[in-house]
Chain A
């Protein structure tokens, strides 16, 4: 009788049932989509973090650089630097700088042992993240000018027009090329950047590379990120110049996060080689820490801060909040607009369901009163009303589930790509700056030679690569995939049940209060 009565009632109130189901379906689909997109964005953030910090890294340790400290940012071009042109009017030059990224500092690798000795630390590795900046260009040969003309950069005397330089009229031209170089311990395959890459061509770095060079020094080998290799037109067997030294490209690696996703660095070299090239023997800039359990991350973080007071310690949660770019925008949208939109639509759907249920009970006063009069217990009447609401909610839930799955499928089919970068200026975490882009951007503008000292990142204590161009180059593109998890389905069905129960409880309460005498009085 319960189901017969329920079925007849719902089919009799088809219009009302459809409205409630549609409202519930839209709300539940929206919640599902927001939930799935949030999970997708979270996964994308994890991918970005994995690309940068490696899979399984729980904590990173860095040290902020001193303002105005060492870092790529100043190129000095002397009057005798470079090579003179055949006509003697200009000089061309090419300079390389390899230094710890601006805003960060290297520190003694003994910190690695300190961290490794902390309880619950399962693994550690140290890297030296460097920025290689090449500055090349052509300027007027001032040495030739000084004999008869004097004057400043690009200048000339009163009698003759300026000559020489890139344009033959005293002008200059410069180009900047910057890429990141990460010195890694080839043996560290459990934690650190190498855990998030896979060899796509050639080979990866090997432990033997630490000592395969002359006199037991590190071998001059490098492994390139696939996206960088493609953009720089480099392949296995070519050479890449790092800090003025040509390195043999022995392999190309790509991100395990997916095709087209860049890894955390453009060039990977053995840690010993990076230290040697940057003249930073025994130094690292990043320590990657893996905890034996996620429960111990905070305790380890505190212990590192206590043991190494000068360093910056960041957990995955800190790192996730540092992700910038469209990924961050998407995350903000999902967490704010999406959440509130879901709440509002859900509240509206619940409200509609409650309103219609109460209205239905009011309309059925005589009917429900009659049932009470002939001896239906209160609980049976309430159960009937609540059951009808629950089924209405479930119908909406199933429709919402289908709608949500379609919506999630559409989002996945669109192949939305989000771009994410950590920190404000690039991948290296903990840098205080990130506003030094102007210098790099203006490097090709043809300024006088006096401006050459500005160089990339000349705008100030910017990010690790010293400019916006570098930051853009370092961003990791991740395809958004909104996953359909059991949680999403459970949440959808749970909300449908909740909405139905809420409406049923409110309607049932009204039905429970109904006195049969009043119901009969209304028809007497």
Chain B
């Protein structure tokens, strides 16, 4: 049963966990209304999202769980402006991601949203430092400032001494830290993480979650994290579940 059907749930106020930034959470970062995404897979029509209503406050730490194919990654793509809905609206800080132009959407992604992926998605031919710098390319940050900011971001995630290493020379946990540094170096307001600990062992997983939680607390980011791992989900401020394209609050 989705929130839309009962008219309550995900749109309601979130409960802030201990230490969470509370100053801005009452202001909505995301407002999603009747969001639907349908696509065809061969001859089959897939309803990835069905009339999803959701409000995420500024500074919230939200996790989305659900079975594979349930629609969680699709929802994350909508939140990140990587795909457009079939119908409904999705507003990020006043900008309707469903209706803005492609170039505006690209600019939103470049300036406002940081992404962390399960597979790290680092450029294999670039060093950790250069990978972090790629996030500043769209902003046309001068080379010197770009390097300085990337170095600072790497230090922030504990990899100040690994800037010259290629991804292949780093462990999985270190690669994910580089990915987090890349997401944060442009000072986004939203951090979207798709299974950020999916490829990591338990110890490293905890380290990464600690890091994300720390950054969330320090920077007042709005963090939305897709995860299969209930341990990770339990550490978030607010837990959502999506299955069959329908969203519910846990």
- Partner-B contacts on A (CB < 8 A): 1, 4-5, 8-9, 11-12, 366-367, 370-378, 380, 515-517, 520-521, 523-524
B135 cross-chain contacts in A, Cβ below 8 A: 374-375
Q: Nearest B residue to A367 by beta-carbon distance?
A: B123
Query: Are B83 and A4 in contact, with the CB atoms below 8 A?
Result: no
Q: Do A520 and B138 contact each other (CB < 8 Å), given the known contacts A4-B130, A374-B182?
A: no
B130 touching A523, Cβ below 8 Å = no
Known: A517-B83, A520-B77. A377 touches B103 (CB 8 A): yes
Q: How far is the CB of A71 from chain B (nearest CB, A)?
A: 80
Interface pick from B8-16, B51-59, B89-97, B114-122: B114-122
The answer to whether B137 and A376 touch across the interface, beta carbons within 8 angstroms, is: yes
Residue among A12, A376, A520 facing the most chain B CB atoms (10 A cut-off): A520
Selected interface stretch from B105-113, B151-159, B208-216, B237-245: B105-113
Report which of A9, A367, A373, A524 forms a contact with B80, defined as CB distance below 8 A: A373
Question: Is A520 a contact partner of B73 (Cβ separation < 8 A)?
Answer: yes
Would you list 10 pairs from A and B whose C-beta atoms are within 8 A, ordered by A residue? Answer: A8-B125, A366-B119, A371-B134, A374-B183, A375-B111, A516-B82, A517-B77, A517-B82, A517-B83, A524-B194
A373–B82 CB distance below 8 A: yes
Q: Are A520 and B182 in contact (CB under 8 A)?
A: no
CB distance from B237 to the nearest CB of A (A): 24
User: Dominant SS at the A interface?
Assistant: helix
Are the C-beta atoms of B134 and A377 separated by less than 8 Å? Answer: no
In the complex, A5→B130 CA distance in Å?
9
On chain B, the residues within 8 Å of A520 by CB distance are 73, 77, 82, 117, 121, 194
> Which residues of A sit under 8 angstroms from B106, Cβ to Cβ?
372, 375-378
From A12, A372, A373, residue with most partner B Cβ within 10 Å: A373
Q: Nearest-CB distance from A372 to chain B (Å)?
A: 8
- Assembled-state Cα–Cα distance A520/B73 (Å): 9
Residues of B within 8 A of A366 (CB): 119, 121
A463 to B17, CA, bound (A): 109
Docked complex Cα distance between A515 and B77 (Å): 11
B67 contacts the other chain (CB 8 A)? no
Q: With A and B bound together, what is the CA distance between A523 and B115 in angstroms? A: 14
A-B contact count (CB 8 A): 90
Q: Which one of B82, B107, B117 contacts A523 once the chains associate, using CB atoms below 8 Å? A: B117
CB within 8 Å of A: which B180-202 residues: 182-183, 186, 194-195
9 shortest interchain CB distances as A-B pairs: A375-B110, A8-B125, A517-B83, A370-B121, A375-B138, A375-B109, A517-B82, A524-B73, A12-B125
**Does A515 lie within 8 Å of B83, measured CB to CB?**
yes
Q: Whole-angstrom distance between the alpha carbons of A517 and B133 in the complex?
A: 22
* Contact assessment for A8 and B138 in the assembled complex, using a CB-CB cutoff below 8 Å: no
Q: How far is the CA of A12 from the CA of B143 in the complex (A)?
A: 23
Chain B residues bordering chain A, tally (CB within 8 A): 37
A517 to B194, CA, bound (A): 12
What A residues does B194 contact at CB under 8 A? 520, 524
Task: Across the interface, name the chain B residue whose C-beta is closest to A5.
Answer: B126
CA distance A521 to B76 in the complex (A): 11
Q: A523 to B116, alpha carbons, bound, how many Å?
A: 12
CB atoms of B82 and A380 under 8 A apart: no
* Min CB gap B90→A, angstroms: 14
CA of A371 to CA of B133, assembled, Å: 11
**Distance in angstroms between the alpha carbons of A515 and B73 in the assembled complex:** 15
| CB contact under 8 A between A5 and B123, given known A520-B73, A521-B73, A524-B194 | yes
B83: nearest chain-A partner, CB-CB = A517
Q: Pick from A8, A370, A372, A515: contact of B117, CB below 8 A.
A: A370
Chain B residue at minimum C-beta to C-beta distance from A12: B125
Cβ 8 A contact of A376, one of B115, B119, B126, B138: B138
Write out the residue numbers on chain A whose beta carbons fall within 8 Å of the beta carbon of B115. 370, 373-374
CA distance A366 to B194 in the complex (A): 14
A376: min CB distance to chain B, Å: 6
User: Bound state CA distance, A11 and B139, in angstroms?
Assistant: 27
Contact (Cβ within 8 A) B138 A377: yes
Assembly CA distance A377 to B80 (angstroms): 15
Residues of A within 8 A of B130 (CB): 1, 4-5
B118-A524 in contact (CB<8A): yes
Question: Considering only CB atoms, which chain B residue lies closest to A377 in the complex?
Answer: B106
CB distance from A507 to the nearest CB of B (A): 17
Complex interface bits, B197-230 against A, C-beta within 8 A gives 1, otherwise 0: 0000000000000000000000000000000000
Chain B contacts for A373, CB-based, 8 A: 80, 82, 109, 115, 121
In contact, B123 and A1 (Cβ under 8 angstroms): no
Instruction: Name B106's closest neighbour in chain A (CB-CB).
Output: A377
A287, B114: Cα distance in complex, Å:
85
B73 to chain A, nearest CB (A): 4
CA of A377 to CA of B134, assembled, Å: 12
- In angstroms, how far is the closest chain B Cβ from the Cβ of A11? 8
Q: In the bound complex, how far is the Cα of B146 from the Cα of A515, in angstroms?
A: 27
Closest Cβ neighbor of A384 among chain B residues: B137
